[in-house]
Structure 1
Amino acid sequence: MSDIEIVRVGPEAAAAVLRVVHEAFAARPPLDPPAAALTETVESMAERLRPHGGLLACLDGEPVGTLVLDPVGNTMYLRRFGVVPAAQGHGIAGRLIDAVVDHAEGYEDLTVVAREELPATIRFWDRQGFREINRRSPLVEMRRPLRTAVFHVHTADAMHVLGASLAKQLRPGDLVVLSGELGAGKTTFTQGIGVGLGVRGQVTSPTFVIARVHPSLVDGPDLVHVDAYRLGTMAELDDLDLDADLDHAVTVVEWGEGLAEGLTDSRLEVRIVRSQADEADPDAELDPRRVEITPVGPRWHALSFRGLG
């Protein structure tokens, strides 16, 4: 098994960082104008690294991936992000992003700038939970809340397991706001939460009853399962009189984005997105999902995503 090590580096590692950047960017399709990264020198890279440093990923001791940290206001920009072609497929890019989270405490989000001529690169950042916030051709700026955790789920059973494992960290009063297209897996995820909480009754889509309460069988919180698909305003959600249950139950609101946030000052926002299994094979049967979990508010300051799924 290959050994991957990611370390924080400064200007003393400029030569190693530069080698990775040049090799990674040179392997990309030609761009007009060319990528500015290809004009970097050891001296200019040292100046980039001097203020806040960067990360260097080594595979079996050989530098193969890197990025430069560039905080601007409350966001941490990731500059000169690259993995050499020979080391791709080892999960190094994802490991680098995970490592940034450990080195960006105090910042609200992560931001990258990609080239619109490189759709595969944009898809990579999208799969990592980044969303386009600005486009000035040929540059696309993408941002991800710092504490968003991204899980790649390939089966309904795995979605169920992810919900059940999340339930172990839920307590009375918690609110989970679920979003995603029809058939994305929101109800399957909620079924997993119900199993993890140990509640009574089969959790099904509450489309026709809007809200359903599943009492606990294990002296824990009840599960209140709400479908807000046919609710148009916060006032209509208030009319369900959920407040009486919120303090003593875990409340899961499907289609709740833009409606349920006012129920409490803390919540988990869970977004489920379909992703193509294999873009080279449109007939592939695998239909994976990307599950993005973002904690909002003081309740979740101590949330650990380790071990979920």
Structure 2
Amino acid sequence: MIDLHVTEAKPSDAPALLRIIHTAFGARPPLDPPGTALQETLGSIEAAVEAYGGLLARVDDLPAGAILFAEDGGWLALRRVSVHPRFQHRGVATAMVGCAEEVAETRGMDGVRLVARAELPSTLAFWWHRGYVELARRGPEVDVVKRLPVEVIAPSAGDTRAVGERLAGLLRAGDLVLLTGELGAGKTTLTQGIGAGLRVRGDVTSPTFVIARGHQSLAGGPSLVHVDAYRLGGVPELDDLDLDTSLDESVTVVEWGEGLAEGLAEDRLDVVLTRSLGDPAGGVLEGWPGGAADEGAGGGTETRRIRIVPAGRRWVDVPLRAALGAPPT
């Protein structure tokens, strides 16, 4: 058992950060053209931490990992991601990246980005495994990005529908949305908002006994395919619905789709709805419509917390936070 701690770096940590960066990058195989990490100095590290911050990881109180931050157009940029060779393969890099994403969320940023090298396939695999995607290549340099989840508070059923309507403004044919949440969490209500935003024909209701229901657009846009996977026994039964035939022309929303429908498309939105009684922790979102509050068993206002997790290249350039009106974290 190791004692691993990750803390936000201070300028006084510059000597430890510099040693880790020089040792880690110095142990890499030769690259063409060579990287610039070994050109870092105590002064450059201090200035970077002073300006944007960074992370220092310690294992058994020994300096083990380092990341420097920068900010780039609303994104948190990671620089000099490095783990001392002595402490590699102990989860240090994973812990630091998780903390970096938390920092980006706390700062209200859209996502995390960095530049990796194509000559280091194991490094690229590390990022792909954590949900990062390739944005572009410039010679040996690979732009790697991850758009962060967006979380909004819906104090009422009307607000939940409003989230769906705003979400519909971002959707296009071929998009897949997977909804997860307990019974009564608001999955169908959110889908009703998506249907309203897409201007589809017919009332959007729970398709539990039909399993899948299609709604054609009244405005020349994509149709909505609404699926309830609650009663499906597994992936083979989902395949029997033959959703692939309509996926490219429709927006497909699958309730209870977690663990079943991810294989339908590499790009998707995973939406997790949770509910709680009492006052909403995050307050009413500015500019959102009101509406009668949902009443829970205890008679209090039933608040929905809606967490939208983008997956895949499709969502990298989509301003989810701004479009959904999510307040800064």
**Corresponding residue number in structure 2 for 1:284:** none
TM-score by length of 2: 0.55
CA RMSD in angstroms comes to: 3.8
Query: 2:22 touches 2:37 (CA, 8 Å); kept in 1?
Result: yes
2:120 is the counterpart of 1:118: yes
- CA-to-partner distance for each residue in 1:257-277, whole Å, 9 max, x for gaps? 67999xxx9855567xxxxxx
**Corresponding residue number in structure 1 for 2:139:** 137
**Corresponding residue number in structure 2 for 1:172:** 186
The whole-number CA distance in structure 1 between the counterparts of 2:240 and 2:87 is 52
The whole-number CA distance in structure 1 between the counterparts of 2:233 and 2:240 is 14
Query: Per-residue deviation at 1:41?
Result: 1.0
Query: Per-residue deviation at 1:133?
Result: 0.4
SS at match of 2:245: coil
- CA-to-partner distance for each residue in 1:230-263, whole Å, 9 max, x for gaps? 115445x68xxx8xxx9xx6567562667999xx
Query: Per-residue deviation at 1:47?
Result: 1.5
**Corresponding residue number in structure 2 for 1:183:** none
Query: 1:171 touches 1:250 (CA, 8 Å); kept in 2?
Result: no
Query: Per-residue deviation at 1:29?
Result: 0.2
The whole-number CA distance in structure 1 between the counterparts of 2:32 and 2:235 is 52
SS at match of 1:16: helix
SS at match of 1:25: helix
Gap runs ≥5 in structure 1:
149-165, 177-196, 211-226, 272-295, 303-309
Query: Per-residue deviation at 1:36?
Result: 0.3
**Corresponding residue number in structure 1 for 2:221:** none
The whole-number CA distance in structure 2 between the counterparts of 1:109 and 1:169 is 31
Please, which of 236, 243, 248 is the counterpart of residue 205 of structure 1? 236
The whole-number CA distance in structure 2 between the counterparts of 1:205 and 1:85 is 45
Query: Per-residue deviation at 1:146?
Result: 2.1
Identity %: 30
**Corresponding residue number in structure 2 for 1:182:** none
**Corresponding residue number in structure 1 for 2:166:** none
The whole-number CA distance in structure 1 between the counterparts of 2:149 and 2:13 is 28
TM alignment of 1:178-189, pairs within 5 A: none
Query: 2:229 touches 2:238 (CA, 8 Å); kept in 1?
Result: no
2:243 is the counterpart of 1:228: yes
- CA-to-partner distance for each residue in 1:47-79, whole Å, 9 max, x for gaps? 121111100000000011010011111111100
The whole-number CA distance in structure 2 between the counterparts of 1:137 and 1:128 is 23
Gap runs ≥5 in structure 2:
151-179, 192-227, 271-305, 313-319
Give the AA of the match of 2:50.
R
Query: Per-residue deviation at 1:206?
Result: 3.6
The whole-number CA distance in structure 2 between the counterparts of 1:14 and 1:109 is 25
TM alignment of 1:60-99, pairs within 5 A: 60-99=60-99
TM alignment of 1:11-160, pairs within 5 A: 11-105=11-105, 106-147=108-149
The whole-number CA distance in structure 2 between the counterparts of 1:104 and 1:142 is 15
Query: 1:233 touches 1:259 (CA, 8 Å); kept in 2?
Result: no
- CA-to-partner distance for each residue in 1:109-134, whole Å, 9 max, x for gaps? 11110111211111111112111101
Higher RCO by CA contacts (8 Å cutoff, separation 6 or greater): 2
The whole-number CA distance in structure 2 between the counterparts of 1:268 and 1:66 is 27
Kindly tell me the number of residue pairs found equivalent between the two proteins: 213
- CA-to-partner distance for each residue in 1:13-68, whole Å, 9 max, x for gaps? 11110000001101100112222001111111111211111000000000110100
SS at match of 1:110: strand
Query: Per-residue deviation at 1:80?
Result: 0.6
